[in-house]
Structure 1
Amino acid sequence: MLGQEVASKRIADEMAEILGAENEAEARYAFLAALSYRSCIVTTLLSFKRLERPRNVKMIWLEVLFQGEGVNHDADYDDDLREMERLLPNSVVFGVLNRLGPIRFRKFLKYVPKARRIIEQAFAKTGLKSFEEIVFAPILYEDRHFISHFYFPGKVENLVIQDINTLTKVYFGKWGPDLVESRPPVSADAEKVFLNPDELDVMRWLVAGKSASDTAVILNKSYQSVRYTADKVKDRLGFASLSQTLVCVAKQYHIDPLNPEL
């Protein structure tokens, strides 16, 4: 009972410190100190557009909020997180974004087993050999969805997850406007659909006017593979037709239809 009282007083003090901070930087320091106390070693924040349907889920920006002791501070998570966004079905990301509470990574894996490789690849950059748990905590602020990732080297009790979820909501509820407004306007590049090399190869030849059959021969792929790739990119962009998709990809990647290999 005494332990519970001490824990309750601690989180109450932490919440008061976050809410009473004079600015966002001071509040962030208090927030991250509370995470560190609970053995969190890496914290990232991902921003998404708020959407009513899963079809057009897009990450706008990400930021590493915290990297604890023993972590490689030069680690770059951007490519890995964008790769994870590309591989995960939009419906799964949309489902996490619209959750009312946090979700453990192990539960998340039940829906998308292949996500583990991407997460492990990103985590390896921290300099740590493995992780025991990651917790995803979704946040909704005005027209934005956010997901905070919390990495732990050991097992995490449910009470710790509840504390972190509470602290995250308190921090974001008070200082969310500062986080969002400090960001520059969304650039055209941020709106861009990031294609992997195989997808880009397919789209280049389709932009050049080649049929799916011709593209399959040029790239030594099957017709079904080319069609699947084109449809996947179309769905990710949210267009109704392949023609609209090709125009958008050509503009964003500066593809010359007369010389698509450049």
Structure 2
Amino acid sequence: MLKDKICIVTGGAQGIGRCIVEEFATEGAAKVFACDMKLDAMADYKDKFANVESIELNVCDRDAISDFVSGVKDRFGRIDVLVNNAGITRDNLLAKMSEQDWDMVLDVNLKGVFNMTQYVSPVMIENGAGSIVTMSSVVGTDGNIGQTNYAATKAGVIAMTKSWAKEFTRKGAQVRANCVAPGFIRTPMTKDLPEKVIAYMESKTPLGHMGEAEDIAQAVLFLASDRARFITGQLLKVDGGLVI
């Protein structure tokens, strides 16, 4: 599905990001740049996939992003797919949430997406095509107790995505922008939750169980590929029916 595509995946070291990288590599991408601050956690990619390159990158570092994107363009002449997956949580009730935790989550989850897309999108527009897939969340559409900062960022990327879907195509370029909103997914972020919380969330999910990272990766793969060539500005919820 991604034959000969040049792809960038942020937050590619673990969880959903790792599954996306592996899915892209398996589906024939010419090159998948797995970007993360945890370079050591991506060391195994070199032995598993000849078409994956691990890059130490902080989505808050605009100079580093500029250098990285310029380097990819110089090597390959194009960037076909960008997956904005890097994200963090710093949960707390609003009354107890520190300004530092508010700023940190917005810097990574919202401004980080802005940074990556601002540098990558001109390359896509110049080449006349591309697909940008950004990770949102059902928390971004319906909110959640103790996640004011996270919810704000995940709602924000939906609005940015809809704006980009209109903006990037003004002069005829086929540059698509979409979001995926995971529900309750088994990842390193959720593995330490109390059993009673997991049981409660599963009971609220019509399909009756947590999703797997692979479920999200498959949705991202579809939106990134040419099979979704007439889909842009959309939010795809992958949540087992949690939010209907």
Structure 2 length-normalised TM: 0.24
Name the larger-Rg structure.
1
The structure carrying a bigger helix percent of its residues is 1
